[in-house]
Amino acid sequence: MASEHGLEPDLLDTDAAGPAAIRGGVLRLGSFAAGSLLSVVSAALMFRHLGLDDSGRYVTILALVAVAGGVTDAGLAGIAVREYAQTGGAARDAVMRQLLGLRIVLTVAGLGGAVVFALAAGYSGPMVLGTLVAGLALLIVALQSAYSVGLQAQLKLGAVAGADLARQVVNVVSVIVLVVLGAGLLPFYAANVPAAIAALAITVYYVRGSMPLRASFDVRRWGALLRDTVPYAVATAIGAIYFRLALILVSLISTAEETGYFGASFRGVEVLIVVPQLLVSSAFPIFARAARDDLQRLSYAIGRVFAACLLLGLAVAIVLIVGAPFVIAVVAGPDFAPAEDVLRFHGLGLVASFVGAGWGYAALSLRRHRAILTVSISALAVSAVLVGILASTHGAVGAAIGTAVAESLLAVGLAITIRRAGVPLGIDVGETARVVGAGLVAVGAGLAATQLLDVPSVLATAGALVLYAGLVVALRAVPPEAAELMQGLRARRSR
């Protein structure tokens, strides 16, 4: 299929789209991992420099601003990528400008609410000013995210990953400089501003000419956009409070010790919750284009993403289940050993999060906003009920079981939504059974090594992962796209 300019086929309409999405997903995961490691280094330096009290104030304000940003995003990032992939020409530019303007206004409103909250809560002057400064950084990040839609939709994910990593690097360098200079609390909030500007500059450089940079503020058109997307926006907000609601319920129903165990486990999985979203969002433009043009291709893409997410999700589950003693020891210390079983059930829930992410983006591609909202509310209600019941009888472990069941029901509900839209899920039952079987064998062997043979959990986890990989290869359960990617990498190395 020729592009609208008649020059060359659009990448999303070619067979090269899948490999490009896989490479982009790997790059984004690598950037995320590197950025997370850098954040750990800068946090360690900053917390030691600021001390306990100011560190708490710093984290509090960043959390407040992050909540404001999460709520005011309103699912617009996903909507924008879908619209970019499904429209073209002047119509696409008009929608992008409207979404950019809406994003700016909502972000500013959210930041205003954050400042009002900081004042009402009686925060100190530096904390209120810190809210404004960190809010400025968030506004710049919102602009950068809006402009990066063009890169994401065109599968130019290396540039997206580069901008994300640049933001982390500049932030870390800024923090180190401030520590050396002996700066007080407020400048550390400001360190986020140059980091956001660096990411914005890189993004604008890559999208100029392919993405409108000027916002439009047509309130009437905003109304039409919001009427269509409010259900999805609410569903997105529900997803953001899932685990945090469970933590609050545990604190109300169970003991302080059980709350601590659940919190320690949550810290162990919090960073991993982002991983399936990064992976699947790389393939989302393909979903969106196929949903517009070719439902058979969409079904195939859904099936391939499911296979990849299941494969990786089980690997993560092996790490959390077998390696729970090591993870908890690193995250919270030896006093939190009872949190190991909590983490194991969270690991099981993450498998559902991985496979459900693909189905969620597929449902968004099909514009099933109300169905997504219905499924999200149902899963949240089930989570609240189960956590409420099980936390009162089994503490943190019961709460983790409740969240795992709810997360599984959410994934199943999204799958049903896709089927009701008339799109097959494209699942290879035999391949799925082989991957799950390999995962169960690896988990069983790893737990036997730690609990029966007293092998250190780090070594047992490494062995379980090697066994899992070996079984997947032996059973020929590696997705062909992943195999092709590995072959391409080996060919590049040989050259």
- Of 165, 190, 217, which residue sits at a domain end? 217
- One domain for residues 195 and 285: no
Instruction: Output the DSSP codes for 429-457.
Output: HHHHHHHHHHHHHHHHHHHHHHHTS---H
For residues 100 and 169, membership in a common domain is answered with yes
Same domain, residue pair 208 and 235: no
Closest CA to 265 of 315, 328, 323: 328
| 252 and 182 in a common domain | no
Range of the domain at 126: 1-217
> Is residue 255 domain-resident?
yes
What is the model's pTM?
0.82
Is 174 part of a structural domain of the chain? Answer: yes
The 10s digit of each residue's pLDDT in 296-345 is: 999 999 999 999 999 999 999 999 999 999 988 877 777 888 889 999 99
Residue 222 lies in a domain: no
Do 200 and 237 share a domain, yes or no? no
> Are residues 243 and 119 located together in one domain of the fold?
no
Cα separation, 138 vs 117, whole angstroms: 17
Which amino acid does the sequence have at 124? S
Do 241 and 170 share a domain, yes or no?
no
Residues 259 and 167 in one domain: no
Q: What is the pLDDT of residue 4?
A: 44
User: Do 262 and 203 fall within a single domain?
Assistant: no
Output DSSP code: residue 11. Answer: G
Query: What span, in angstroms and rounded, lies between the C-alpha atoms of 335 and 343?
Result: 15
d(CA 453, CA 460): 10
Residue 448 lies in a domain: yes
Give the separation between CA 366 and CA 369, rounded to whole angstroms. 8
Q: 131-190 pLDDT, tens per residue?
A: 999 999 999 999 999 999 889 888 888 999 999 999 989 998 998 999 999 888 889 889
* Nearest C-alpha neighbor of 218 from the set 65, 372, 98, 95: 98
Q: Which amino acid is at 345?
A: F
One domain for residues 295 and 436: yes
Q: Please list the residues that pair with 9 across neighbouring strands.
A: 2
Residue 223 in domain: no
Does residue 292 share a domain with residue 153? no
Domain end position, chosen among 186, 217, 248: 217
Specify the pLDDT at position 318.
Answer: 96
Per the DSSP assignment, residues forming a β-bridge with 2 are: 9
Match 């994300």 to its residue by tokens: 164
pLDDT of residue 240: 67
Residue 92 shares a structural domain with residue 130: yes
The span from the CA of 199 to the CA of 467, in Å, is: 40
Residue at which a domain ends, from 194, 217, 240: 217
For the chain, which ranges sit under pLDDT 70?
1-9, 52, 74, 240-244, 480-495
The reported pLDDT for the residue numbered 321 is 95
Whether residue 286 is contained in a domain is answered as yes
Is position 224 within any domain? no
Is residue 226 in a domain? no
Report how far residue 256's alpha carbon sits from residue 251's, in angstroms, rounded to the nearest whole number: 7
At residue 50's C-alpha, the angle toward residues 49 and 52, to 5°, is 115
Count: domains in the chain? 2
Q: Rounded to the nearest 10 degrees, what angle do helices 339-365 and 295-322 cross at?
A: 170
Q: Are 453 and 490 a contacting pair, CB within 8 Å?
A: no
